[in-house]
Structure 1
Amino acid sequence: MVRVSDEGWARRLGGGTHAPVAAVVSLGVAAVGESVSRAVAGDADPQLVLVLGLLALATTAPPAFLRPMPAAVAVSAAGVLSLGLFHGLTVAGLVAQLIVLYRLGRAGGQVVATCLAVPYLVLALVRGADAMTVLAASLGLTAAWVGIARWARDEAVVHRAARQAVAESLVEHTARGERARIARELHDVVAHHISMIAVQAETARLTTPGLPAEGARRLSEIGDTARAGLTEMRRLLGVLREDAPSDIAERHPQPGLRQLTELLDDVRDTSGAGARLIVSGTPAGLDPGVELAAYRIVQEALTNARRHAPGAAVDVELHYTEEALRLRIRDNGPGPPAAAPAGGHGLTGMRERAAAVGGRLRTGPAAVGGFVVEASLPARAAR
């Protein structure tokens, strides 16, 4: 509770544009009353009484209608004039001086606040041990430095909060990127194998001669279970990919272009469809990230071909140039469906992988029928 009260008082003094009017009026009345009573007690001339009253008002009134810096300059000038010419400063004037110096330091005017307190120190050194002058010199600098310290603390709090926000943003960005990486690996590896299970079960059920009815039923159940697993995995992928960035580069290369032959052998063995690997240009060792992206793109294209064009022959073409590796995966199936299947992330994942290594990818119907996936990946040499 004490901390909250202190914060509120500091905010009223330093944070606002003008000081509270009621406080300034109170200080002004007290300053004028003290100044006039002193003058009358000393049998001063009426004109001098008026001047002293106006000067006392000038040492307290500016904070009510001026911003911190001009208010501090006006109050300090009036206070120094009062001490220098009339050897006196009211208690209310001293309080107002401390308030404006604190407000100015609190608002960030470190240099000006310190400079405005220096004339009181000069007067104290020149005039000797006058009580009010010594108080103004010592307390003025103290008030300015306290305001500056509060300003520095608030700035440190702001900067610390900004650094914390940046750190939290980086953590969130990293977490989203990791979710996107996990989603791609689940889709490219696990979903690929589950899809192969479904294809193999269906192929065995339809092509095995003399298969008992119970065996056919079990194979059908295996295929249904695999397809249900794919559906559940797509739901999981949808959760993982939510708000995930699409430009997180792959950092853990696994298979590469040398494993494409094995991949095509698996496709031929499981689906019974034709699959050819056509290589042109001069093969060269590429960056592991590029090779991984190329492998995953081919793998996903083959999985899509089995899923949407079962039994269709597939050609996988690799064309090496000095600048790029060009991929072309084409099947001779019926072509793309009229409406894209809901829940799939294959085409999105392929585009992400191509973009992650600085390449491009295009999908669509082939000119001579079927579906085609074309990608151009930069031919960065292996390190």
Structure 2
Amino acid sequence: MNRPGTCPAAVAALAVAAAAEALVRFVASRDVAGAFLVLLAALAVASTAPLALRRDTTAALVVTAASVVALAGFGLFTVAGLLAQLAAAYRVGRRGALAVAVPLGLPYLVLAFFTPVGVVLAALVPGFALAGVARRVSRADAAHLAAQDAFAGTLVEHTARGERARIARELHDVVAHHISMISVQAENARLTTPGLPPAGAERFAAIGGTARAALTEMRRLLGVLRSDAPAEPERQPQPGLRELAALLDEARDASGSGTRLILRGPPVPLDPGVELAAYRIVQEALTNARRHAPGAAVDVEISYRADGLVLRIRDNGPGPGPASNGGHGLSGMRERAAAVGGRLRTGVSGPAGGFVVEATLPVPTEEDR
């Protein structure tokens, strides 16, 4: 309750005043035994014990103990009701505090017409104190949720950066191979072309030198990308669509369900970067299907069209749950498609459920061929 806008000392003073007023009336009007006073002290201690485990509870301890003392003059049943109210509010937390306070607090409001002001004050003060505690807990919950959201956003961004770096490293291998071939062919042409004039030889040499310089710069770029990444195993040749059959066999063995490869249209030569992206997208989609729809049948459909290569991976599982909003696997597939100029969409495959991943990747035009 130690927050701006609250006054725990005033609340505690009000509770003590109410307790004193009620206790004086009770002692003055009855013959109070020493055993009853001992029991009263024990009840006050018992009522404040749960609060002793929390921080900044001085005012709350005073309020609770004083309320028990004030209410004791009206019978142990009244004290038991207050203890039940405090214990229930302490256990249910912010969301249930109102539901507890209303039904347990209404009887005290009724008593206001028949009892001295002391009991009314003693009964209402803990309610206001609990309202302050609920407000404090609400603020703490909001801060905790905000911290969780910030951490989740940071994690997603970190994962996306790592995925982009991995894609860049794989594309580096593809592009480096082509540049190396340019350098080799330029040098070969300079040495083997009969009757090549000196100017032509110089141009071939310049082409080879430019290609080698480009390779050097690419290696520097790759070093920057690898500086923040963990060590990787020895690099292997990058896979393409020819390796899809083996990938589907592996998926069948892992899931034990039917996985079909459907080809539509005559195959056309594709850029190695596009083939790599297609393979990785299919691989990730199969992994997601095994993770989220184990045992479901999966169809992998590859269509060669004039406007692009279309990949459609569909399973007959239950589909995404109501709280599903995508994951790192889906963001990685989108990154791969975008890296080669393509696009990707995901969603429910039909009324009966299931999930579909559809990617459209560019194919070479007639001029490119």
TM range (shorter): 0.3 to 0.5
TM-score, structure 1 as length reference = 0.45
TM-score, structure 2 as length reference = 0.46
Which has the larger Rg? 1
